[in-house]
Amino acid sequence: MRNYPHPLVAREGWPFLAGAVLLALALSWLASWWLAALAWLVALFILQFFRDPAREIPEQPNAILCPADGRVIKVEPAHDPYLDRNSLKISVFMNVFNVHSQRSPVDGKVEKVWYDRGRFLNAAVDKASIENERNALHLTAANGQAVTCVQVAGLIARRILCYVSAGDTLTRGQRYGFIRFGSRVDVYLPVSARACVTIGQKVRATETVLAELQ
């Protein structure tokens, strides 16, 4: 099954892309070729950063899907600070070359949303999970189990966007947010969940099965 409720280039990037293209066109007419070439390279970088392709959705009913593109940097037992429980924590770090939209890991209901204004540390470091700007969702999956999904800002990421609120219903693979320019996503799962990824593994939002609920 393919989920595609959004443009190929994320709406969040349209102003940046339009500005970059207009600047590149102006420099192509008015400035030296190397300045114009540099401007076109910037426009291409912005285009690739804000790309938002369709993804295939796995069919397994007990699968927790990866909410973001990137590289797995944590798979460990941890305390879920939002639901005050022991959990399995899986963290995915996104660099500037990854797709930066976030998609729901499960079919479920949004029970609560927390936003914390914080710092802008390197998103790859451990304390970014509790000190950086972040936005967390408490989701109740179709089987009744709780999943916490946290958008975490990074060193140069200065804007977390979340488009859902408490009471909303999400389908897995559904786009719910975006983080601009480098970041990470933390997922807290029940301790009974079985991880399906390993540290260092490259993952893709929706298409990679992060874990399985038992």
- For residues 157 and 181, the answer to whether their CB atoms sit within 8 Å is yes
* Residue ranges in the chain assigned as alpha helix (H): 14-30, 33-49, 128-131
**What integer best gives the mean pLDDT of the chain?**
87
Radius of gyration of the chain (CA): 18
d(CA 112, CA 195): 24
User: Is the model's pLDDT at 74 over the cut of 50?
Assistant: yes
User: Is the model's pLDDT at 16 over the cut of 70?
Assistant: yes
- Write down the pLDDT at residue 1: 46
Residue 53's nearest CA partner among 197, 151, 175 is 175
Q: Which residues contact 89 (CB under 8 A, 6 or more apart)?
A: 74, 75, 76, 77, 78, 80, 186, 187, 188, 189
Residues carrying an active site annotation: 183
Q: Which residues contact 29 (CB under 8 A, 6 or more apart)?
A: none
Dihedral angle of Cα 39, 6, 167, 116, to the nearest 10 degrees: -10
The DSSP code for 24 is H
d(CA 5, CA 11): 12
Q: What is the CATH number of domain 60-212?
A: 2.70.70.10
- Write down the pLDDT at residue 135: 93
Q: What is the mean pLDDT of residues 96-125?
A: 83
Listed by start position, the domains of the chain span: 11-49, 60-212
The tens digit of pLDDT for each residue in 117-145 reads: 866 565 556 665 666 788 999 999 988 99
- 9 or 51: which carries more pLDDT confidence? 51
d(CA 119, CA 18): 29
Confidence class for position 85, pLDDT limits 50, 70, 90: very high
- For residues 86 and 79, the answer to whether their CB atoms sit within 8 Å is yes
Q: What is the mean pLDDT of residues 139-152?
A: 94
In this structure, are strands 209-212 and 63-65 parallel, antiparallel, or unpaired?
A: antiparallel
Residue 179's nearest CA partner among 70, 58, 44 is 70
- Write down the pLDDT at residue 125: 60
Residue 99 is encoded by which pair of tokens? 């797709």
Write the single-letter amino acid at 156: I
Cα angle 73-56-202, degrees, rounded to a multiple of 5: 20
- Write down the pLDDT at residue 134: 87
Confidence class for position 95, pLDDT limits 50, 70, 90: confident
The top-scoring range by mean pLDDT among 19-33, 48-62, 84-98 is 84-98
The tens digit of pLDDT for each residue in 167-200 reads: 999 999 999 998 876 688 999 999 999 999 999 9
User: Is the model's pLDDT at 2 over the cut of 70?
Assistant: no
d(CA 165, CA 114): 10
Q: What is the mean pLDDT of residues 209-214?
A: 92
